[in-house]
Amino acid sequence: MSKASALIELSEPPKPRTLTGTGRFDVLAVREDFPILRETVHGKPLVYLDNAATSQKPLSVIGAMNRFYLAECSNIHRGVHYLSEQATEAYEATRVKCQHLLNAADASEIIFVRGATEGINLVAATFGRRHVSAGDEVLITAMEHHSNIVPWQILCEEKGAHLRVAPMNERGELLLDEFEKLLTPRTRIAAFTHVSNALGTVNPVNQMVAMAHARGIPVLVDGAQAAPHIHADVRDLDCDFYVLSGHKIFAPTGIGILYGKRALLEAMPPYQGGGDMIRTVTFEKTTYAPLPHKFEAGTPNIAGTIGLGAAVDYVQQIGIAKIAAHEHDLLEYGTEVLSRISGLRIVGQAREKAAVLSFVVEGIHPHDLGTILDQEGIAVRTGHHCAQPVMDFYGIPATTRASLSFYNTREEIDALAAGIEKAKRMFA
C-alpha cells in the first residue's frame, strides 16, 4: 500500500453513528464524528455554540477533501486524463446531491457559488439589473442579514428604485398583513430570509411566496440559516431563487448554492466572464455555455464542492427530521434555563423558531460576556450579527447569541448558564 493510499484509508471513517438500538437520536455517538468537539479551550472542554456563524465539520467531509488532494487533484471539465475525469465526476455528483437536497426539478438549476452572499449578489446583478428600473420597488423584511440588504440597496441606488421593508413585531415575527400590503404593481422582486440569523424566527415562506406570485412578483429566499435545520423543498415553496452557504451545513467555507428556476436562469445574462462559462469566443462575439456552466466562470472551489457533497450525504444519512427534533428539544430546554436567569432577556421569541438564543444581560455588555464565556471554553457570538437594523429595532447595540446544532447537548446549555451566572457575579 502506498503512503497516499494509507492516508486515504485513514480519511474515510465509517458512516455516521446516529441511532441507538432503540432508535433514539444518539448525540454522543454523533459527536464522535466531529473531532474538534474533543478540543479544550483555556483548559476547559470546548462548548461550541456559534453554529449560526459556521458549523463544525465531520470526519467524512474532512476525509472527502483529503482524498481529493491526495489522489484526485486536478482541474475539472476540460481534461481528458484520469485525474480530471475523476475530479469532474465528483464535482458534478455534488450538483446532483444538492438537487436532491432541495428537490430541484433538474441538476442544471443548481449553480455553485461562494455562498449565500454571492448567490444574492448574482441575482441582484443579473436578474435585478434587467428587470428593475427607475421608480420600481424591491421588497425585503426588517429581519434580513446584511447580505440580503446591501445588494438590493446597490441595485436600487443604481437604478433609481426604492427599497421597501416589511416590518416585524416585538416577538421578532413578520407582520404578514403589512408584507402583503407592500407587494405593489411596482414591486419587481421580493427577497426574504427563511430563518433569521439574529433571532431564529422561521418565516411563513410558503405564504409569502404565494402572496408575491399572486401578483406576478418573483421571489428569492435566503436559506443560509434554514438549510441546517429545516427541509427546504424549492418546488413545494415554489420560490424562484433559493440560496444557501455550505459552511452552515457542515461543509467547507467558500462554497454555496444558488437554485433558480431554469427559465429564469436561462434568460439571465452571465454574472462573470472567463473560462468554462463560454461556448465559443472570438474577438467579435462570445456565446455562452448552457446551464449551469454559464454562471460558473473560472476554476471553481473543487475541493470545497466535493466537501459539500460529503456534507449533504452526512445530513441525509442522519435525517433532517431527527436533526430538527433534537434541536427543538435543545431550544426549548435552553429557553427555559436562560429564562430563569435574573436580568437576562431573550431577544426574539417568535412562536416558530430555529435553534437560536439571542439575549442581553442587564449590566454586562455582550462583548464582555463573550470574553468571560470564552475563558470557560464556551464559544458564542457577540455583536450585531450582520443585522444592524434588527439591533436598531430593539434599541440595543448588540446581543450575545448561542446558536445550536444537532451535536450540542443539554449539558452544554447548562455550562452556558453557569458561565453567565459567573459573569453576573463578576459585574455585581
Active-site residue list: 386
SS3 label, residue 328: helix
7, containing H or E segment = helix 3-10
In angstroms, the CA 63 to CA 70 distance is 10
Amino acid at 318: I
Provide DSSP, 250-290. Answer: TS-SS-EEEEE-HHHHHHSPPSS-STTSEEEE-SS-EEEPP
Q: What is the DSSP letter of 108?
A: G
Nearest partner of 417 among 343, 348, 365, 328, judged by Cα: 343
Q: What is the DSSP letter of 284?
A: S
Rg for the chain, CA atoms, rounded: 22
Nearest partner of 225 among 109, 385, 99, 47, judged by Cα: 385
Nearest partner of 187 among 162, 220, 150, 214, judged by Cα: 162
* Set of cell numbers at residue 121: 449578489
Name beta bridge partners: 76.
none
The answer to whether residues 358 and 201 touch, using CB atoms and an 8 Å cutoff, is no
SS3 label, residue 197: coil
In angstroms, the CA 97 to CA 93 distance is 6
* Set of cell numbers at residue 24: 433514539
Amino acid at 184: T
In angstroms, the CA 252 to CA 310 distance is 10
